Amino acid sequence: MRERVDYDEFSFFHENAAEHGLPFDAPPVVRRRDVEVAPGRHLSALAWQEAPPELVLLHGGAQNAHTWDTVALALDRPLVAIDLPGHGHSDGGADPSADQLSAHVDAIDVGAAIRQLAPGAAAVVGMSRGGVTAIALAAAAPELVKKLVLVDILPGIKAERAKHIGGFTNGPPSFASLDELLTRTKAFNPSRSESSLRRGILHNAEQQPDGSWVWRWARHRAGSALNPPNPESAVIRYEVLWDALSQVTVPVLLARGMRPDSVLGDDDEEELGRRLPSAQIVHFADAGHSIQGDSPLELAALIEKFVFAQ
């Protein structure tokens, strides 16, 4: 039997703060909330502070709500960070075959969760899969999306640009040890500190009774999130999302990572400008796809300014 690793999801906030020079006088008030979004199915979320949430944060595919921890600490506002269907502590989605392109499937569940947890939130912030989910949500339930922040995502990302993500997520179904999982994660995230990667793994993976490890999101994986089984239907769904984004009437901000590991190109940005000329675009020179991990303080400052200072 392999050694068991103790895990308390609320015990790492001091590490996030120390790594990014944030003050840390006392642990933040954070609790896990579970809400029923359909009979027998629940979504889980992290609720920060006691007041009614002012923001909703939606993570990317193969991530979880803790990816926002440093951003939440920097914002110091009441908010909820939701585990998307099939991720983190949430149950699987309504459609087990749904991939990143089926944003409307996730949006139904996420909308149900927001109505219970944060109906008055001033903005929805979505990164990658969470971003396209937020776009679909804005179309299906516009009353829940008063402002929209997209973190390094737009409809119709090119497969070649997302190849590095697929290379990581389409890996082994399980790992013999935490060290093995950490070694793989370091290879795909060479710019991150080992402590931050270990922390992220503990939030995003689960140790099995035999001591091995599996990704939390992999428990519900029906296929590759980046290689949909029907490319033609993928194109149709992308166009539906572009149409949905084009019709958004609330303020929209795109935060774009400018390192090579971003999934966006100049053509994506130009398409956004053509479809939604009112959208604001901000570049993050030192960030890739996961801006919340690469430049969390800068992203928090941008969200603060866009949502609350305008």
Average pLDDT over residues 156-170: 82
Query: d(Cα 131, Cα 127) in Å, to the nearest integer?
Result: 5
Q: Which range among 71-80, 92-101, 142-151, 261-270 shows the weakest confidence by mean pLDDT?
A: 92-101
Given the residues 102, 128, 262, 290, select the one marked as catalytic.
128
- Give CA 81 to chain center in angstroms: 9
Given the residues 66, 289, 290, 295, select the one marked as catalytic.
289
Cβ-count burial 136-156 (b if 16+ within 10 Å, e if not): bbbbbbeebbebbbbbbbbbb
99 catalytic residue (yes or no): no
Catalogue all structural domains in the chain, each as residue range(s) with its CATH number: 13-161+229-308 (3.40.50.1820)
Give the CA count within 13 Å in the CB-facing half-sphere of 245: 32
Comparing 245 with 239, which gets the higher pLDDT? 245
pLDDT given for residue 59 in this prediction: 97
Q: In terms of DSSP H, where are the helices of the chain?
A: 13-19, 69-75, 103-117, 129-140, 163-169, 178-188, 194-204, 231-246, 266-275, 291-294, 296-308
Q: Is the pLDDT of residue 85 over 90?
A: yes
128 catalytic residue (yes or no): yes
Which residues fall within 8 angstroms of residue 223, CB to CB, at 6 or more apart? 97, 99, 229
Instruction: Please list the residues that pair with 36 across neighbouring strands.
Output: 42
Q: Is the pLDDT of residue 77 over 70?
A: yes
Query: d(Cα 127, Cα 134) in Å, to the nearest integer?
Result: 9
Given the residues 91, 152, 261, 294, select the one marked as catalytic.
152
231 band by pLDDT with thresholds 50, 70 and 90: very low
Six token digits for residue 15: 């590490």
**Element of type H or E holding 47:** strand 41-48
Average pLDDT across the chain, whole number? 91
104 catalytic residue (yes or no): no
pLDDT given for residue 228 in this prediction: 38
